[in-house]
Amino acid sequence: GHRDLVQSIHMVSGLLLPVPIVLGVLTSHGLRADIERLNRFAPNDWQWLRRPDRRHAGLPVGKFNAAQKLYSAVILGSILVLFATGLMLHFFALFSDASRTGATFVHDVAAFGVGILVIAHIALAWSDPQARQGMRTGSVELAWAEAEHPYWVAELTASCQSANTPC
């Protein structure tokens, strides 16, 4: 019923989408460190992805497992695609009909894909209370971290020992 309002909210939201990411990168050392971790695929990550029993195989996993690394890359790529195609659709006069048609298709498919990924991500988080606690508070129980992300625990422990601080 309020198409113009919804269209305006959609456009402003799309233009503001990069703002929290940029602000986080500029102001948070922790986020920059996490981005660095997400950007590094280790050989054991490929092995982790190929294993059907990956969660119980005892494979070394750092703070982020391979699926989390892939998810973050796909979401970032999707944001860039949605941003670019959204600009094409907003400034439609600069583009041919064929380009706009293609941009509309890509924008819609990418948005649908992101929606499915986000729903799946929420479902996975819903099944793991410790993961939800970590997302909400920034900390998890040591036993959970040791079971799910043993290399991360080892990294933190080594960091504490080298700095002579309690962990």
pLDDT tops 90 at residue 60: no
User: Is the model's pLDDT at 49 over the cut of 90?
Assistant: no
Q: What is the mean pLDDT of residues 111-139?
A: 91
The answer to whether 147 touches 56, Cβ cutoff 8 Å, is no
Among residues 33, 21, 72, the alpha carbon closest in space to that of 152 is found at 33
The whole-number pLDDT of residue 22 equals 92
Q: Is the pTM of this model over 0.85?
A: no
Q: What is the mean pLDDT of residues 75-84?
A: 93
Mean pLDDT, residues 106-126 taken together: 94
Split at pLDDT 50, 70, 90, the class of 167 is low
Cα torsion through 32, 133, 40, 14, rounded to 10: -60
Burial bucket for residue 62 (CB in 10 Å: 0-12, 13-18, 19+): buried
Model confidence at 1: pLDDT above 80 = no
* Mean pLDDT of all residues in 37-50: 86
pLDDT at 84 over 90: yes
pLDDT greater than 80 at residue 57: no
